[in-house]
Structure 1
Amino acid sequence: MINSVNDNYRILTEHINLTSIDLDTKSTNEIVKIFSEADKEPQKAVENSIPEIVKAIDLITLRLQDNGRLFYIGTGTSGRLGVLDASECPPTFCTNPDLVQGIIAGGIPSLTRSSESLEDISEIAISDLKDRNFSNRDVLIGITASGRTPYVFGALNYSKSINALTISISSVPETDSTLDNDIDIRLITGPEVLAGSTRLKAGTATKMALNIISTSVMIKLGKVYGNRMIDLSVSNDKLIDRAIGILFDIASVDKETAVQLLKDTNGSVKLSLLIALSGMDVIDAKQLLNDSKGNLRTALTTLNVIKL
């Protein structure tokens, strides 16, 4: 995180990185090595933020268990990363698309083309949240690498005003930007190889943090058993093969039995596992899962069946 002595008036994400000062004169090999070395910083940034990330995961889980929803909001790269993480939850964890939502300034068109002019309008963010009936049961993660984006600030302030759980993710220290939220995650990755281009290290650290947060929340919601995604959406050949593999690994059933179980349970890997491990019928297994709040390990523990 090396910066020039002339950068004192700039926020950290706009500082000049001296390791890449002559970037345009470097060979391809040298350029790649500079990037490779710089990309060690996002891992350190996430590691340094573990306490805040842990707190976020635990509090988000409580909200979602109480019928709340999780929203990401941002502009540009930050917004796209939020939309990407949200869009991966239904196929990976078979969640309702409403449970985790990504909002980007300018909406869907902004996913493929720039909409910088909207970054400065905080009122639009409030309208975007209201359009989704955002409430005090919900969680908002505002993503702003600079810690200064008006669109994100507007959303965070509105979220606080209605007592929703409010979390910020930024890449600047508190001296550059004050973010007074329930949880303040600072992913300090330093000056970018290409000065100011926060789609690089800051974006990488943000993607890592969002991966950890959403996956950990889903684990706590009972959508994972061991390290298998037992609530995956069996919607194509690859995922069918994965589901069969999970049933084989955990319940030791052959392919023919696995396929039949998936047919009987309308593609539910979790329910199929419970039936295979307990010998219960579909109706009783469904009831036990409901009583166990969808947690397979809890259901198996109730039956004194321990596997994996």
Structure 2
Amino acid sequence: MMMALVLHTTSSSLISSSFFHSSSSFYSGLRIPITRRRNKSSSSSSSSSSNSICIASWQELAGVLIFSAIPFTAVKAIANSSLGETLQQNLLKTKAAAVQNSQNFKASAHKARKQSFWYGENRPRWLGPIPYDYPAYLSGELPADYGFDIFGLSKDPMAFQKYFNFEILHARWAMLAALGALVPELLDLSGVIHFNEPIWWRVGYAKLKGDTLDYLGIPGLHIAGSQGVLVIAICQALLMVGPEYARYCGIEALEPLGIYLPGDINYPGGILFDPLGLSKDPVAFEELKVKEMKNGRLAMVAWLGFYLQAALTGKGPVQNLLEHISDPFHKNILSQIT
């Protein structure tokens, strides 16, 4: 439930456990641009070896493990060093003023939310003018709350907050992944850049077959590119340790590095998560939260469409859209299932 630019996200929202819910699609979607090449050894070997989920040598495996552990290890090392102590001391000198500014902003944001068209009892509802007995526990305090809870999943306030957090994470992932899936195919079809494998799901399929992928299209750059899916999964798991630990600890997790975040776990703000200062205007910021959630929900629904299109047509979403526009009466979902 944030801006489509994802500038006010926590580290867990950029690298979160939602990645594992559809790792193949996200892996293929976020690595752009990517080219595909057959692994030399696998091309001359038997089909059983080419389908291996782990084709890495122990040297490659060790390199991936070390590379994956660098971010978390570096943060811990800096926090426990003399540099970390200096950063913390500098933070203590300015923290009192920063906390006061944060409290003032939160008060302004609360006031802006009460006056906003998108919050409160008079906010837009999912059924519009149609009379409906909306749940009392959905009072319009959170962004993009349209009173929709037909199964009563959010009656428990703790569960409501948990679902709110999960929806933010998945919405941001869906927007990033949709961008990664659409851009390479669009660039390839328009002739701007040609890729050997512009279709999002085929990139993941290539890895399942043991193919070598060049990261960012640079020949020979194989960051987890020449390894199998198992090694990539291990790499992702290790990269998740730091952000998930930070999310567990809260926004205070960066204070050992001298970084104070004035917001909360979902909208931390500060120079690190709001470099453009989009949250300086409380009224505009509250509206941006709603816009982000609307775009995020649209992206999640779009990914459902991506999956179905890939299963039914074997083509990318951009190609499917172009074919539908050219012949909408014969190129549609009904023509695929009949």
- Name the structure where strand makes up a greater proportion of residues: 1
TM range, smaller chain: under 0.3
- Name the structure where helix makes up a greater proportion of residues: 2
